[in-house]
Copies of this chain bind each other. A is one copy, B any other.
């Protein structure tokens, strides 16, 4: 991995979301080496709130965030909504606009800035398909939300 890439928390979250199971090890070992936290999962729904909930639950269960602290959940929530802007492109809505999404997501928490005082940040990457509720009538979509935590 290149040095520039090392600090790119967003790109790493995206690569982690892209990764098939067999490709994950090289990414996660690198994240572990840096003492960064991470988690991933999959969710498909016409209901946007279910996607938000799935990412939140995953981040909590995989201990990327502390579920007891609103501060951390607040940071995560805004990162998720920002990521969903990239997926929905215009209005953060799925079923109400007669569309559905099938997404993989990854959450990475780490220190992307050289200055140690910049502290921890969280990146939420979502990648998958969005489209009509008809098999195959869908195209790819991506989103990334980054926040201080």
Which positions in A face B, CB cutoff 8 Å?
A: 2, 8-11, 14, 18, 20, 47-49, 52-53, 56, 69-71, 73-75, 77-78, 81-82, 85-93, 95-99, 112-113, 115, 117-119, 121, 123, 125, 127, 131-132, 134, 136-149
**With contacts A20-B2, A93-B92, A118-B70 known, is A141 near B10, CB below 8 A?**
yes
Closest B residue by C-beta to A145: B89
Complex contact A73–B132 (CB within 8 A):
yes
Complex: how many Å from CA A147 to CA B77?
12
- Count of chain copies: 6
Are the C-beta atoms of B143 and A142 separated by less than 8 Å? Answer: yes
Instruction: Give the shortest distance, in Å, between A20 (CB) and chain B (any CB).
Output: 7
A10 touching B140, Cβ below 8 Å: yes
Contact between A96 and B142, CB atoms less than 8 A apart:
no
Counting chain B CB atoms within 10 Å of each CB, the highest count among A117, A134, A144 belongs to: A144
A75, B82: Cα distance in complex, Å: 15
Chain B positions within 8 Å of A11 at CB level = 18, 127, 140
Decide: A92 and B85 in contact? CB cutoff 8 A. Answer: no
- Cβ-defined contact, A85 with B93, below 8 A: no
C-alpha spacing A146/B78, complex, angstroms: 12
A9 touches B113 (CB 8 A): no
> 4 tightest A-B contacts by CB?
A86-B86, A10-B140, A49-B98, A85-B89
The chain B residue with its CB closest to the CB of A88 is B85
